[in-house]
């Protein structure tokens, strides 16, 4: 097991569909004094319309804002860009930034960026994922999600959702959109913004490490209580619960097959069984697992183990120093596509009962 390197740099990923106001949001963020000591990795400077009056210095692919925010364009591979930026920071060639923000393109699935942070040895030791921020157009997001699967995935995996252009939508439209987003992603904090105007403090520090308390706050990060229809697993016992997605079925809506739920394991299981279960899930159904967050009670440890995965990739598990409360059940949050809790729990049952044939059939 590993410990969270609290001196590593927190990384936030900003994503959002084309026209959702992501560029406007970024343009306002980089001018905000709260973005001081932040590096923003973007696709092109021109896309966010940096005002030359706000630029203090320019160096090929790096712009330093008067707010203290450092902007860097992606040159080729993202891994190379992040490595180069970190090395330039170490050499004092750029300001000593304390946070990194990565912008995705409007059609991008954020998963590959999260994979990059979880898989590259150099980056893993120097950066840590703080959270995913998604933008949703107050006027068009419902229609966009009905037509485009990527827009649904962006909202589903987010830790923070910014509803943009909120000044243009009436109360009914806003309520309808926010209800849809909560059904899709119950644990995400939803904020409204007009003209991209929002306090950066509302968007960052969404990760396991809470800089205010200088500690690991798994409850704040996991937000298991948001899934009030959580599924409880007793070893060897199934259940007949159907997991509703909070709205009627419409075959034309891409979010009908997205599910978000929390599975509770009542029994303390050996680490190798839990690890094998998660490995099987990602091997057989990884494309359908958008994100996994969990706090595990395993037989080999008196304190919980935290796991975090995106599709086929898992971050190295982290051992906490103590339990956050008296509830020592394992809690695993799943955000999936076409993969309900009954299949997830059936795979665990099959594995713990050593029924390989049952596993293969799932």
Q: What is the mean pLDDT of residues 114-125?
A: 89
- Both 175 and 278 in one domain: the answer is no
| Domain count within the chain | 2
Domain assignment present for residue 244? The answer is yes
**At 299, which CATH number?**
3.30.1220.10
In this prediction the pTM is 0.88
- Determine the pLDDT at residue 348: 85
Q: What is the mean pLDDT of residues 105-133?
A: 88
- Determine the pLDDT at residue 237: 40
Q: State the chain's mean pLDDT as an integer.
A: 86
- Both 129 and 244 in one domain: the answer is no
Q: Output 345-351 pairs: Cβ under 8 A, ≥24 positions apart.
A: 345/231, 345/233, 345/238, 345/239, 345/263, 346/238, 347/277, 347/280, 347/281, 347/284, 348/233, 348/265, 348/277, 349/235, 349/236, 349/238, 351/273, 351/276, 351/277, 351/280
- Determine the pLDDT at residue 74: 86
The whole domain housing 166 covers 9-207
Q: Which of 174, 207, 240 is the last residue of a domain?
A: 207
Q: What percent of the chain has pLDDT over 70?
A: 85
- Determine the pLDDT at residue 58: 55
pLDDT classification of 201: cutoffs 50, 70, 90: very high
Q: Which of 207, 239, 257 is the last residue of a domain?
A: 207
Domain assignment present for residue 213? The answer is no
- Both 172 and 230 in one domain: the answer is no
- Both 191 and 325 in one domain: the answer is no
pLDDT classification of 255: cutoffs 50, 70, 90: low
State the Cα torsion 313-12-157-323 to the nearest 10°: 70
**At 201, which CATH number?**
3.40.50.300
Each residue of 46-92: pLDDT tens digit? 777 776 656 666 576 888 888 899 999 887 789 999 999 999 999 99
- Both 88 and 60 in one domain: the answer is yes
């Amino acid at each position: 097991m590993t410990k969270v390197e609290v001196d590593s740099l927190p990384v936030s990923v900003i994503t959002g569909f084309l026209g959702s106001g992501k560029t406007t949001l970024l343009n306002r963020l980089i001018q905000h004094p709260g973005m001081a000591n932040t590096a923003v990795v973007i696709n092109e400077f021109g896309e966010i319309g940096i005002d030359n009056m706000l630029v203090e210095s320019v160096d090929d692919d790096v712009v330093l804002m008067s707010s203290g925010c450092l902007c860097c364009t992606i040159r080729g591979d993202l891994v190379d860009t992040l490595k180069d930026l970190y090395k330039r920071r170490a050499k004092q060639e750029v300001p000593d930034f304390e946070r990194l923000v990565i912008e995705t393109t409007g059609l991008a699935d954020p998963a590959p960026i999260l994979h990059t942070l979880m898989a590259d040895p150099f980056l893993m030791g120097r950066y840590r994922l703080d959270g995913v921020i998604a933008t949703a157009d107050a006027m068009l997001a419902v229609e966009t999600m009905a037509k485009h699967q990527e827009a649904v995935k962006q909202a589903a995996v987010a830790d923070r959702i910014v509803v943009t252009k909120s000044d243009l939508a009436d109360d009914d439209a806003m309520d309808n959109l926010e209800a849809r987003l909560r059904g899709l992603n119950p644990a995400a904090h939803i904020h409204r913004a007009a003209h991209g105007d929002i306090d950066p403090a509302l968007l960052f520090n969404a990760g396991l490490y809470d800089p205010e308390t200088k500690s690991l706050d798994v409850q704040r990060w996991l937000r298991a209580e948001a899934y009030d229809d959580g599924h409880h697993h007793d070893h060897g016992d199934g259940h007949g619960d159907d997991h509703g997605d909070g709205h009627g079925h419409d075959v034309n809506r891409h979010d009908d097959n997205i599910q978000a739920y929390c599975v509770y394991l009542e029994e303390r299981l050996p680490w190798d069984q839990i690890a094998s279960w998660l490995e099987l899930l990602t091997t057989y159904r990884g494309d359908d697992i958008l994100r996994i967050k969990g706090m595990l009670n395993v037989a080999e440890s008196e304190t919980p183990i935290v796991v975090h995965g995106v599709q086929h990739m898992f971050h190295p598990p982290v051992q906490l120093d103590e339990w956050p409360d008296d509830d020592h059940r394992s809690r695993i949050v799943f955000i999936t596509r076409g993969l309900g809790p009954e299949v997830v729990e059936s795979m665990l049952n099959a594995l713990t009962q050593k029924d390989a044939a049952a596993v293969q059939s799932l």
